[in-house]
Chains A and B, each alone.
Chain A
Amino acid sequence: MKYVIIGNSAAGIGAVQGIRELDKDGDITMISDENYHTYSRPLISYWLKGDVTEEGMKYRPNEFYTENKVNALLGKKVVSIDKKNKTVLMDDASVTEYDKLLVATGSDPFVPQLEGLDKVKNKFTFMKMDDVRAVRERLSKNSKVLIIGAGLIGLKAAEAMVRFTNNITVIDLSERILPAVLNEEASHIMKHHIETTGVRFVLGTTVKEFSENTATLTNGDSIDFDILILAVGVRPNTELIDAIGGKVDRGIVTDDTQAVKGFSDIYAAGDCTKSHDITSNTDKMIAILPNAFMQGNVAGKNMAGGVAHYTNAFPMNAAGFFGLHIITAGSYSGEEHTAISESGYKNLFIADNKLKGFILMGDMINNAGIYTSLVREQTPLNEVDLALLLEKPALMAFPAEYRKEKLGGQR
């Protein structure tokens, strides 16, 4: 059996592990245009900050490819798939055959069409190792940094850069930071926390026009900068599947075995795909690492002839900014149950007798996974001690039988 995996990151690695659980000997070829041993993408900000070394960023040990008998072709880009002859073509004109193919091409930064952006010399995106290397080379203590986008990536970039300069401004069209992850209250708390470090926010506005070192905003203000970071969002890499007529709706559309709709031997996983969010019952992009790994893992098992389904995706995030941590999951609709502590915040969202989502911050994050399991399993809340769960996540709230099964080794 010949397996080809395009992408050398979380989804691709998940697939290798999935394949190897069932097929110890099949040929695995992994292709990536990034010329690095598999590394953890989220760790690029930790590297820039100086918390981890390049060695420490490795997502799997140095022996991973040899131990799993993976032929890693790094620094090569796949330019097309020939689904009739079952081959992929690379940018150096080489061709590789496959029996089963996985597209795990991830996402690229979305670059907005802003007037005058082409005049800005020092502009960067914040997605890849090479991006942060380039930023690192430019950064000094006199740098004036402007970050467009107050989402997770933009704020992680800000956190990494305060070590170098105290002149950092983050702007966002949204009226609040982390708009996709936090509600208004939690967003407010986080904003105040981050502002104490000297990072400035300009919200509810965007750039009308750039000159080389100045951004003129739609509200009339202007901001001088010498480093511009574009972090407004990501765009799934779907071109390869698009070109062969596979179904794409923003992301690549797959079934729950991760097979691309309409194909039996082509799979897709990770940031390049669309997921089904069980908490809102809608299809959406869920661009997070655990989702990528698990989808890849399911794809790998199916490619190797096993049976696996990925049926319980939902958005979730764990992130810390300047020491204040947030853990969130699911969707934020339904009846709200809020609690505020000295250094924490919590909000649970309940609808249809189920926990649909939650936002936890600061000292409220402990044992969060117990809440997440209620979201993942969509546990009917009348079967558990809801009053206790509203107070804190506890296994005590589950029926004794359930505990016996889960904790007693009967499951």
Chain B
Amino acid sequence: MKKVYVNEERCLGCHLCEFYCSFAGGGETDMAKAFKLGRVVAPRVRIEESKDINFAVQCRHCEDPLCVKSCIAGALTKKNGMVEIDKAKCVGCYTCVLVCPYGCIAPDKKSGGKTVTKCELCLNSAAGEPACVKGCPNKAIVYEERGEQ
């Protein structure tokens, strides 16, 4: 299963992946316009940064996903290696936020917190390949096979 991986050593902490992520999920075609209009940015990738290191984190699509096991509504499922959310079923209880060890599922600001949002590898969007990977200027985020289920 191909997954998104981050090479800490290469990450510049430039936050471009966040921008590309918000853009990819927003259905907006003009990036400048999207941000000027003050659309709520709800990226499914999070940058952690300090003096010495930066890195981006997004859903690991865990082999044994705690979020899926814990979801009270049956809104999270794992299919073909990817953990998906059915926003129509999600009731925004945040049990998944409570259990995800990586902090990779978050209240969806676009819905006013009524649902959660997470990385779905851009498979449901037009990009085809994850937008964060495509947009990273330093190849710090890669989309590849490392033998994980």
- The answer to whether residues A43 and B48 also contact, given A316-B98, A369-B99, A407-B6 and a CB cut-off of 8 A, is no
- The answer to whether residues A318 and B95 also contact, given A290-B69, A394-B48 and a CB cut-off of 8 A, is yes
Contact among B5, B48, B88, B96 for A408, CB-based, below 8 A? B5
Contact among B55, B73, B98 for A43, CB-based, below 8 A? B73
Query: Could you mark each residue 1-39 of chain B with 1 if its beta carbon is under 8 Å from any beta carbon of chain A, else 0?
Result: 001011010000000000000000000000000000000
Contact among A289, A365, A373 for B70, CB-based, below 8 A? A289
Check: B72 CB closer than 8 A to any chain A CB: yes
How far in angstroms is the closest Cβ of chain B from A106?
Answer: 14
Check: B103 CB closer than 8 A to any chain A CB: yes
Query: When the two chains form their complex, are residues A293 and B70 in contact, meaning their CB atoms are under 8 A apart?
Result: yes
Query: When the two chains form their complex, are residues A393 and B147 in contact, meaning their CB atoms are under 8 A apart?
Result: no
Contact among B66, B93, B97 for A366, CB-based, below 8 A? B97
Check: A320 CB closer than 8 A to any chain B CB: yes
How far in angstroms is the closest Cβ of chain A from B74?
Answer: 5
How far in angstroms is the closest Cβ of chain B from A352?
Answer: 21
Contact among A43, A366, A376, A400 for B8, CB-based, below 8 A? A400
Check: A370 CB closer than 8 A to any chain B CB: yes
Query: When the two chains form their complex, are residues B60 and A370 in contact, meaning their CB atoms are under 8 A apart?
Result: no
How many contacts A-B (CB < 8 Å)?
A: 123
Among B72, B88, B102: residue with most chain A CB under 10 A:
B72
Query: Could you mark each residue 346-361 of chain A with 1 if its beta carbon is under 8 Å from any beta carbon of chain B, else 0?
Result: 0000000000000000
Check: A395 CB closer than 8 A to any chain B CB: yes
- The answer to whether residues A60 and B98 also contact, given A320-B92, A366-B103, A367-B103 and a CB cut-off of 8 A, is no
- The answer to whether residues A289 and B72 also contact, given A42-B93, A52-B91 and a CB cut-off of 8 A, is yes
Q: Which of B91-140 contact A (CB under 8 A)?
A: 91-103, 105-107, 113
The interface residues of chain B lying within 8 Å CB-to-CB of A376 are 101
How far, in whole Å, are A56 and B90 apart by their CA atoms in the complex? Answer: 9
How far, in whole Å, are A57 and B90 apart by their CA atoms in the complex? Answer: 10
- The answer to whether residues A327 and B8 also contact, given A40-B74, A373-B101, A409-B146 and a CB cut-off of 8 A, is no
The interface residues of chain B lying within 8 Å CB-to-CB of A90 are none
Contact among B60, B73, B95, B96 for A406, CB-based, below 8 A? B60
Q: Which of A330-348 contact B (CB under 8 A)?
A: none
Residues of chain A at interface, number, CB under 8 A: 48
Query: When the two chains form their complex, are residues A370 and B101 in contact, meaning their CB atoms are under 8 A apart?
Result: yes
How far, in whole Å, are A57 and B8 apart by their CA atoms in the complex? Answer: 42
How far in angstroms is the closest Cβ of chain B from A320?
Answer: 7
The interface residues of chain A lying within 8 Å CB-to-CB of B69 are 14, 290, 293-294, 297
Residue of B nearest to A410 (CB): B146
Query: When the two chains form their complex, are residues B5 and A43 in contact, meaning their CB atoms are under 8 A apart?
Result: no
Query: When the two chains form their complex, are residues B98 and A323 in contact, meaning their CB atoms are under 8 A apart?
Result: no
Residue of A nearest to B67 (CB): A369
Query: When the two chains form their complex, are residues A325 and B60 in contact, meaning their CB atoms are under 8 A apart?
Result: no
How far, in whole Å, are A404 and B101 apart by their CA atoms in the complex? Answer: 15
Contact among A52, A60, A327 for B97, CB-based, below 8 A? A327
Q: Which of A368-392 contact B (CB under 8 A)?
A: 368-370, 372-373, 376
Check: A319 CB closer than 8 A to any chain B CB: yes
Check: B53 CB closer than 8 A to any chain A CB: yes
How far, in whole Å, are A329 and B95 apart by their CA atoms in the complex? Answer: 11
Check: A59 CB closer than 8 A to any chain B CB: yes
The interface residues of chain B lying within 8 Å CB-to-CB of A372 are 98-99, 101
Query: When the two chains form their complex, are residues B48 and A409 in contact, meaning their CB atoms are under 8 A apart?
Result: no
How far, in whole Å, are A395 and B60 apart by their CA atoms in the complex? Answer: 13
Could you give 11 example pairs across A and B, Cβ below 8 Å? A290-B72, A293-B69, A327-B94, A365-B97, A366-B106, A368-B97, A369-B99, A394-B48, A396-B55, A400-B8, A408-B146
With A14-B69, A366-B106, A396-B49 known, 14 other A-B pairs at CB within 8 A are A40-B73, A40-B74, A293-B70, A316-B98, A318-B94, A319-B93, A320-B94, A367-B46, A368-B97, A368-B98, A368-B103, A372-B99, A394-B103, A403-B8
A residues at B contact (CB < 8 Å):
14, 40, 42-43, 46, 51-52, 56-61, 289-290, 293-294, 297, 316-320, 323, 325, 327, 329, 365-370, 372-373, 376, 393-396, 400, 403-404, 406-410
